[in-house]
Amino acid sequence: MVELTLLRSGNRLADPQQQVALLEEDQRTPGFRSVLASHGCNTLQASGISILQINVGKVCNQTCSHCHVDAGPDRRESMSVQVADACLSLLQSANIATLDITGGAPEMNPHFRRLVASARALGCRVIDRCNLTILVAAGFTDLPEFLAEQKVEIVASLPCYLEANVDKQRGDRVFQRSLEALRRLNALGYGLSDSPLKLTLVYNPTGYSLPPSQQKLEEDYRRELRSRYGIEFTQLFTITNMPISRFLSDLYEHGQYDGYMQKLVDAFNPATIDGLMCRSMLSVDWQGNLFDCDFNQMLELGVTNLRSTNILDLTDGMIDGLRHRTIVTGKHCFGCTAGAGSSCSGSLQ
Ligand code: SF4
Ligand code: SF4
């Protein structure tokens, strides 16, 4: 067993290979592939690419305790203009409908606005995975207007409607700054029932449990945010905390790893397999490397079966191979198949 001490290097989680080794050497948790096979799914195959999700870097103005990217203000990894342009070319050549931009705080990448405007000009739907507080941070306060002008969909983390819970997971004063950002977005029309500007909130558990029913929690969020703060939003996504990166370390530190993995395995739901997000998305990291999803990206489990795994080397002839690739899986994947399932678009059922 890889010890927790190996997972840390200073205050940062150590390399992804150690995380993969820890998960794979865990004898108590069954193999994800064997569980899939027992439900008649011998290989997990992609069924096209409808979403290009690009992680433009690890720079962030926050350092949340559950962050699977291990992002923060001291990170320097940031997508170059060459890689950003290659992403735009792929959107066009592979006729991909949606560009989903994540980070870090994606807005802190110097090419963020260019990426958004260019993708919109191509006719793509654009999603900004926003932490909200960046919208009220010095140097970024004109972002809400830019996003509204470009009709960008905002998917924003707000793990609770209670201040103490949000600040515990995301840092001091994050809740109050998030409310300030939400009020600005509402004032521009984001999240209002008769507006085309979509504002999705994202819930993930603050502890070691699975998310509750998305529909029921959305009703609670709507009632509480409206009555307490006058905030409106379009919809709520619930997302399961994945046993990787900072959350994996947290599970170990608090003696919760075995219990959490058992919880995920016990809640395996075969009905989630068809809708797993890796089947319809391609994920790109800040350096242009290709992955099946953002979680595999964090574990550095790159796409397979291809001559090249970097977007800078892609040719049009390789796109079909990407559309029908075999997905790389591991024990972390139990996070996507537990209960109602989990994806970047919320629960799968
Ligand atoms: S805001 Fe998002 S990317 Fe930034 S530290 Fe928090 S979870 Fe990570
Ligand atoms: S972590 Fe989830 S989305 Fe990623 S490969 Fe595994 S099942 Fe698919």
Q: Whose CA is nearest to atom 5 of ligand 1?
A: 63
For ligand 1, say whether the CB of 78 is within 6 Å of any of its atoms. Answer: no
Query: pLDDT tens digit string along 10-55?
Result: 444 558 888 998 898 999 999 999 999 999 999 999 999 999 999 9
Q: Is residue 343 part of a domain?
A: no
Q: Is residue 342 part of a domain?
A: no
Domain that holds residue 322: 4-337
Q: Whose CA is nearest to atom 8 of ligand 2?
A: 278
Taking the centre of ligand 2 as the mean of its atom positions, its distance from the CA of residue 295, in whole angstroms, is 7
**Residue 35 vs residues 128, 139, 234, 343: alpha-carbon distances, Å:** 34, 49, 36, 19
Can you give the CATH number for the domain in which 165 is found? 3.20.20
* Mean per-residue pLDDT of the chain: 93
Per-residue confidence band for 146, with pLDDT thresholds at 50, 70 and 90 = very high
Q: What is the predicted pLDDT for the residue at 9?
A: 45
Q: What is the predicted pLDDT for the residue at 18?
A: 87
Looking at the structure of the chain, the number of domains it has is: 1
Q: Is residue 209 part of a domain?
A: yes
* Total Cβ atoms within 10 A of residue 149: 12
For ligand 1, say whether the CB of 63 is within 6 Å of any of its atoms. Answer: yes
Q: Is residue 262 part of a domain?
A: yes
User: Which ligand sits nearest to residue 278's alpha carbon?
Assistant: 2
Q: Residue range 117-136: average pLDDT? A: 98
For ligand 2, say whether the CB of 295 is within 6 Å of any of its atoms. Answer: yes
Q: Is residue 347 part of a domain?
A: no
Taking the CA atoms of residue 300, residue 302, residue 308 and residue 312 in that order, the dihedral angle to the nearest 10 degrees is -60
User: Which ligand sits nearest to residue 65's alpha carbon?
Assistant: 1
Q: Whose CA is nearest to atom 8 of ligand 1?
A: 67
Query: pLDDT tens digit string along 187-242?
Result: 999 999 999 999 999 998 888 999 999 999 999 999 999 999 999 999 999 999 99
* Total Cβ atoms within 10 A of residue 228: 12
Q: Is residue 301 part of a domain?
A: yes
Query: pLDDT tens digit string along 154-179?
Result: 999 998 899 998 898 888 899 999 99
This prediction has a pTM of 0.94
HSE of 9 in the Cβ direction (CA atoms, 13 Å)? 8
Q: Whose CA is nearest to atom 4 of ligand 2?
A: 293
User: Which ligand sits nearest to residue 68's alpha carbon?
Assistant: 1
For ligand 2, say whether the CB of 277 is within 6 Å of any of its atoms. Answer: yes
Q: What is the predicted pLDDT for the residue at 8?
A: 47
* Total Cβ atoms within 10 A of residue 326: 13
Q: Is residue 70 part of a domain?
A: yes
* Total Cβ atoms within 10 A of residue 151: 13
In percent, how much of the chain has pLDDT > 70? 95
Q: Is residue 315 part of a domain?
A: yes
For ligand 1, say whether the CB of 322 is within 6 Å of any of its atoms. Answer: no
Taking the centre of ligand 1 as the mean of its atom positions, its distance from the CA of residue 343, in whole angstroms, is 17
Q: What is the predicted pLDDT for the residue at 10?
A: 43
